Amino acid sequence: MTFGVDHAGPDESRRAAGLVAAQEKAVALFDETAARGLVAPGVGER
């Protein structure tokens, strides 16, 4: 059995698209909160 992009099927493609959309939403939410001054990159990192 071969695992790869060509054999992933529609369910895996849908799952991957959902993960990409969630990541894009997280970036947008972080940018929005950063623009409001609520968080800043690096805060909490030591």
Higher-confidence residue of 45 and 16: namely: 16
Q: What is the pLDDT of residue 14?
A: 93
Question: What mean pLDDT do residues 7-20 have?
Answer: 87
pLDDT at residue number 12:
92
Instruction: Determine phi and psi for 19, rounding to 5 degrees.
Output: -65, -40
User: In whole angstroms, what is the distance from residue 2 CA to residue 30 CA?
Assistant: 38
Phi, psi of 27 (to 5 degrees): -65, -45
